[in-house]
Structure 1
């Protein structure tokens, strides 16, 4: 096949070139399959190809956020505990150089339609570039963070200034002397604020819900230290696979309610100083299960944050003394100096609960201010408003099942998968980093490696047993969905509107998008299903 061929057949097609797609391509090729990957961007990296806003960096520390492929890691050394977007793009270039992924990849290619042909028992994949590819196995590694979300503010199309989405940040954006407005207060919004607050600009941050951010404790990693750590990689990766969250951190199986205030403070201080997600992952286990335990975490956090600020009004907005959220039920962020930066005089905060946005006009934003309105003159507006997460990019593939029913229609009354890996009536169709799996609440690279391993094991077993196709039964998918919902209801997550629950997109069904039972519980179910084909129909 040459790149000029618009029609071709292959054993497997992978959609998406992030961690999940690259790992799937690599492992499927190792099975001896012919595999092609289709990627919307011009290079590998997934979210790290697109994220180029100021301060963009990963919130998982090294060395656990990378492929466990010795040929790759032996020739790569990380320079920071939490690498930035540029280093991550260089890493994916290194991965490609070592594994030779580009030769089997179509870049700048967007999948527009995916259809299963029940007669030929093959998938047809159509793209915006005119490709018509057929395959036996289809892997959707579309990720959780690709389809950008712009809130439907009235008059947004009338705004004549510079409008930027964090996921589509220009290479050069001059902010000196400008009036900049930022909408959104998640990880990208926080990281942008940390950088732009240091610039000679007037920064106005519109906040509906204050973020929950804990110290990153960023630091440089020397070449010598990086090389030394490779002697522990087997242990670190093994710990990731066997953990609840995919992180290699120590865990504590003790309730916060069983510890004395003195014991809690000692542990909190230790983990707070350690930085990263240690404060959550290595802490008392029940803060996501019990409101009283959660409030103990909040009270500690709020005192730590307020001690770093001087402006009482800003303190009350970003860290109110009265608990306003369940800690951890929205994506927690890691910060370096966020609270010091919002405390600066060139940074203004607008509380959208008290002064909601009414509309945009040509020169800025109008908010409701008491009985009247207030106009905010803005030269630049940055929307750090996130994504139609987990399902958005998947449904945009316009997938139709073996009966011709669109996946969007199949899921109109709720997501239905088995193990977050397969869907009824979609034979030989697999998802990586998709809904109803641990996904966004797990450390990405080790988690998608486990998914890719399971997919490869399924295909190997099919070939050994002479099977042409496999798909989950409706009953198995309904049982898994009920389990996903039941596990969620035993936690505090449903008490918060978040993208974990699909609540950030108007009109999107509110339901748990992520399996909250942890990686080990999920993996046990995956292993049992593979051993016996329980819950599957084969042909």
Structure 2
């Protein structure tokens, strides 16, 4: 039997959340270890290295808010790519010595709670055993990539690559390439591959209502000016807005606005780029169908101006919206819509002619057409939000796995913990604000709350904390109620609702009420002695 390793806190995942947890657990004088499946830091940016992979949040706030870290770091672009994010994590490691407390190539396969000693026993894929009082799941919302079941894929003679497991070395120049999927990943990789391949065939199920990124280079001088004048304000602003971005939704009722006022706002937000058109407009975008259609009509007009062919216009920006605008996280694009006007690009609408099978030489659709290719790229996404947690055999007080518990729907308290799983927290996961927000904004908020909870427990002789069933039910119902108010169900394949994975229960998987409301709920619980939790005293 392997010798156990003992820590106060075990952290699963070495991305933003895991590193933030480690740094702050150390400050409490406690021992911690990160278990990371990959061979280096950066979390999702370690795994996602496909051409064009980059963040959709601007660089001032897509980093840690600690001034000791941002004062000496400079990005080269407003929206950094995966290489710069990886370089940033290496910089953080040099400053703080993160890797000395990380066990790389350590995929966690099980975590079992022992109620008699208030400890977790965690086992990695290579058989190592770890024990700890606290378990912090920093697996993120996109750690379990989704491989669709497609007939004949094992018979394909060419290369098959999922975007989340991109090969270190590749050369697609002069090759015929097919891409399945036009989500955020698909948009990014399609933009990059189109100019270099012999022919690109894109298989689209749902048009992507992408927004202009407005990418630009950032000089060191410009960033220094931002640091001197704005960084402190920008980081402070994060917990004050719905999404953790500096801009915020406008609460003014649509009924009190004019057509002219809205048109001018749309134009201003569009020119600013990024998520301004999504998370800087009137809040009724998510609840008012008539206003939502007005926003879509503006988006459609802007996009169609960039597409010359009428048939492509209808495929990429149809007259009737495929779903309410903004109920899926919009992708940010730089040249996406122009790609389809290239002679070497074919767009196939698989909502009309579905994928029938992969053949040895390509892909056949239900209308009998076979598309030849040398390389097949699967931009098919992830088992979002829950997959990273349910892929681990986690058993709590009753010995029932969390995967089985959640088979009929996720239930949590405060989007941070679950009943019958004491001393287990997660960050940027189910029923937290997660992808309604800028990642680091949501991550630091939740991570700080967990750190303060652990500190409170240590100072007050509390050995375990676990949500009550009643509090969990009430919070989960609140998430469902907030979700039912909006237009979210209008998206047939939204991963916000778990609809992208066959057999997964349809429900709002994230807290849709915004960061300030979420923070208020969390802070009120803590202020009332962690109301909604059962606390067990040491030795009790």
Cα distance in 2 between the residues matched to 1:6 and 1:496:
49
Aligned counterpart for 2:423 among listed residues 423, 428, 447: 428
Question: Which SS does the other structure have where 1:411 is aligned?
Answer: helix
Cα distance in 2 between the residues matched to 1:282 and 1:468:
44
Q: Within the alignment, does 1:391 sit opposite 2:386 as a pair?
A: yes
Tell me which residue corresponds to 2:517: 521
Cα distance in 1 between the residues matched to 2:358 and 2:194:
23
- Report which stretch shifted further, 5-14 or 481-490: 5-14
Q: Within the alignment, does 1:219 sit opposite 2:212 as a pair?
A: no
How much does 1:171 deviate? 2.3
1:152-184 C-alpha deviation (Å, 9 max, x unpaired): 111122212110101111122222221110000
Q: Within the alignment, does 1:447 sit opposite 2:442 as a pair?
A: yes
How much does 1:93 deviate? 0.6
Tell me which residue corresponds to 1:248: 246
How much does 1:77 deviate? 0.8
1:364-391 C-alpha deviation (Å, 9 max, x unpaired): 111012xxx1111111110000000111
How much does 1:260 deviate? 2.3
Cα distance in 2 between the residues matched to 1:422 and 1:233:
32
Contact 2:8 2:133 (8 Å CA) reproduced: yes
Tell me which residue corresponds to 1:84: 81
Cα distance in 2 between the residues matched to 1:491 and 1:250:
18
Where does 1:384-533 land on structure 2 (aligned, <5 Å)? 384-497=379-492, 498-532=494-528, 533=530
Cα distance in 2 between the residues matched to 1:209 and 1:255:
31
Cα distance in 1 between the residues matched to 2:294 and 2:221:
40
How much does 1:353 deviate? 1.3
Tell me which residue corresponds to 1:291: 289
Contact 1:246 1:447 (8 Å CA) reproduced: yes
Cα distance in 2 between the residues matched to 1:474 and 1:40:
32
Question: Which SS does the other structure have where 2:122 is aligned?
Answer: strand
TM-score, normalised via structure 1 length: 0.97
Relative distance call for 1:406 and 1:251 in structure 2 (3 A) is closer
RMSD: 1.2
Cα distance in 2 between the residues matched to 1:208 and 1:44:
34
Contact 2:416 2:425 (8 Å CA) reproduced: yes
Tell me which residue corresponds to 2:307: 309
Tell me which residue corresponds to 1:186: 183
Q: Within the alignment, does 1:153 sit opposite 2:150 as a pair?
A: yes
Tell me which residue corresponds to 2:44: 47
How much does 1:261 deviate? 2.3
Aligned counterpart for 1:114 among listed residues 111, 117, 133: 111
Q: Within the alignment, does 1:321 sit opposite 2:316 as a pair?
A: no
Contact 1:38 1:109 (8 Å CA) reproduced: yes
Tell me which residue corresponds to 2:202: 205
How much does 1:48 deviate? 0.6
Q: Which runs of 5+ in 2 are unaligned?
A: none
Tell me which residue corresponds to 2:344: 346
- Report which stretch shifted further, 249-258 or 261-270: 249-258
Q: Which runs of 5+ in 1 are unaligned?
A: none
Cα distance in 2 between the residues matched to 1:264 and 1:383:
39
- Report which stretch shifted further, 251-260 or 447-456: 251-260
Cα distance in 1 between the residues matched to 2:468 and 2:283:
35
How much does 1:200 deviate? 3.9
Relative distance call for 1:251 and 1:499 in structure 2 (3 A) is closer
Cα distance in 2 between the residues matched to 1:255 and 1:336:
32
Cα distance in 2 between the residues matched to 1:180 and 1:172:
16
Cα distance in 2 between the residues matched to 1:528 and 1:271:
35
Tell me which residue corresponds to 1:259: 257
Contact 2:242 2:248 (8 Å CA) reproduced: no
Cα distance in 2 between the residues matched to 1:38 and 1:257:
52
Contact 1:256 1:287 (8 Å CA) reproduced: no
Relative distance call for 1:462 and 1:253 in structure 2 (3 A) is same
1:38-77 C-alpha deviation (Å, 9 max, x unpaired): 0011111111111111111101012011101111111101
Question: Which SS does the other structure have where 1:412 is aligned?
Answer: helix
1:443-480 C-alpha deviation (Å, 9 max, x unpaired): 11121111111111111111222111110101110111
Cα distance in 2 between the residues matched to 1:205 and 1:6:
51
Question: Which SS does the other structure have where 1:358 is aligned?
Answer: strand
Cα distance in 2 between the residues matched to 1:200 and 1:147:
29
User: Following superposition, which runs of at least 4 residues in structure 1 exceed 4 angstroms of deviation?
Assistant: none
Cα distance in 2 between the residues matched to 1:82 and 1:385:
23
Aligned counterpart for 2:366 among listed residues 365, 368, 381: 368
Cα distance in 2 between the residues matched to 1:301 and 1:120:
57
TM-score, normalised via structure 2 length: 0.97
Contact 2:416 2:426 (8 Å CA) reproduced: yes
Cα distance in 2 between the residues matched to 1:435 and 1:457:
21
